[in-house]
Chains A and B, each alone.
Chain A
Amino acid sequence: MATRTVVPFGPQHPVLPEPIQLRLTYEDEKVVEVTPVIGYGHRGIEKACELNEYAKNIYLCERVCGICSYQHSATVVEAMERLWPLELTPRINYLRTIWSEMARTHSHLLWLGLLADAFGFESMFMQFWRIREKVLDLLEQTTGHRVIQSVNIVGGLRRDIDEQQKRMIVGVLAQVRKESQSLIKALIHDYTVKKRTVGVGIITKEQAVSLGCVGPTLRASGISEDVRLTKYHAYGELNFEPIVESAGDCYARAAVRARELIQAIDLQLEALSKLPEGEIAVKVKGNPPANEAVMRTEAPRGELFYYAKGNGTRKLERMKIRTPTYANLPAVLVLLPGCQLADVPVNVLSIDPCISCTER
């Protein structure tokens, strides 16, 4: 029997920009067991949400993550809006959809860059991130900030998109689409990328469901599931169908994100072309009523779940946040055993882990 060695992968590791430890047990170069260890940066945000006045929770929750920050604010706001419940104008729903897809665009560009970097394709990594800058600029120009947009409020939005901005967004997105397609083509058809990802880290359909996977990690295993099918925001009025791959390997997960990047741009363009007139905020009376509500949205990494419970005061009784990486983390229990030591970074990266989200 080969000698077993336990190696701590993280919490400080070049492939992990955030602290998580994977306790890997090896036999020679092969991983046979893994235990994920979290808790290095837990911030107790759920507890803080009970201590804050409800409106301040928006600004707190959008700091759960620096990448899907917009998605957190849109979800927490809508969870709280459902306590009344509030009737929003179509324009609010469309604008929230546009910014959500803009966030998905920059998140997937970030991930594709990281994937290229994991293979040592430094130039491609920089090209993806160069394109991403244009999307961050759009966010800054339309919301006022690149990372923490703070554009959502209970009952609507703080900012609108005017005609001039619409034209500017359409122009920039057309350019982003063209450049992304060309880079994706280079990445996805590359011999080395295929060699390192095809057939690696397979999650079967059954495993994906049983492990509770979400987002591109789930859809790459052949499951056509996406919270956007619930038609929240303006998704019910857009031409949307989830992107699915069937192989369940690292390559399929990359392919889903690459195709979703293009789809996100198309959804923004469609939403912009249909953007209805109307108010960007509705009146909110009183404190959140004694009620409870769940809001789920499709963040770039998958289903984001918020549960809010009001008690009639300015403070919430309870706020629960279940982030996509929290749901995808059990997948490493089947992803890593059986793989080679050299494949661990790409395997881990393939679920697009966000430890900041996990350690809310």
Chain B
Amino acid sequence: MENLIKIDKSAIVTEGKKLLDAGGKFVTAVCNDLDAEMEVTYFFSSNRGTEMQGLRCTVAKDEEVPSLTGETLAAVLIENELQELFGLKVKGIAIDYGGNMLLAHDSPTTPMLKEKKAEPKGVEN
């Protein structure tokens, strides 16, 4: 995938703001479960929608990432979605649905996480 920059999670807002200030538009964010950590990629389009830029960071599953909604409200739905479906902790979303944007109260939690592989059982003597 072209135009992908790896950044630290602390730079998400500043790097995102740079792209927005340069005339970019937030497209979406994609989360990948890498077992021990989470990979989050934010996509921005520019130049009449013809170019795409990705900002990618990896975070530990118990770490928080800052919300982009302070810079662009376009991120509000996807950040809530990542929070609910992946358990990604997003700090300071402008409209926080509190885990019930897509999921109901009795839905399974974080359904998009990879299922944990069963540990091989020891052979009993």
Contacts and interface: CB of A to CB of B under 8 A. Distances in A.
Query: Is chain B's interface secondary structure helix, strand, loop, or mixed overall?
Result: mixed
Contact of A317 (B26, B32, B43, B103): B32
Interface stretch (A58-66, A148-156, A166-174, A322-330): A322-330
Given A294-B43, A305-B27, A224 B48 contact: yes
Given A294-B52, A327-B74, A320 B30 contact: yes
A211 B78 CA distance: 12
A317 B34 CA distance: 10
B102 A38 contact: yes
Interface string A116-155: 0000000000000000000000000000000000000000
A242 B49 CA distance: 11
Nearest to B74: A212
A44 B111 contact: yes
B10 interface: no
Contact of B77 (A210, A225, A329): A329
A146 B111 CA distance: 34
B101 A211 contact: no
B48 A333 contact: no
Interface string A54-87: 0000000000000000000000000000000000
Contacts of B104: 39
A309 B1 CA distance: 10
A120 to B, nearest CB: 33
A225 B27 contact: no
Nearest to A36: B77
B102 A39 contact: yes
Interface residues of A, number: 37
Contact of A296 (B20, B52, B74): B52
Given A210-B73, A293-B1, A305 B28 contact: yes
Contacts of B76: 330
B14 interface: no
Contacts of B52: 294, 296
A303 B44 CA distance: 12
A9 interface: no
Interface in A182-197: none
A37 B100 CA distance: 9
B30 to A, nearest CB: 5
Interface in A307-345: 307, 309, 317-318, 320, 322, 326-327, 329-330, 333
A7 interface: no
Nearest to A231: B50
Contact of B74 (A37, A230, A318, A330): A330
14 contacts: A38-B101, A47-B111, A47-B112, A210-B73, A211-B73, A212-B25, A224-B48, A225-B25, A230-B50, A303-B27, A303-B45, A305-B27, A317-B32, A359-B102
Interface of A: 35, 37-39, 42, 44, 46-47, 209-212, 224-227, 229-230, 242, 292-294, 296, 303, 305, 307, 309, 317-318, 320, 322, 326-327, 329-330, 333, 359
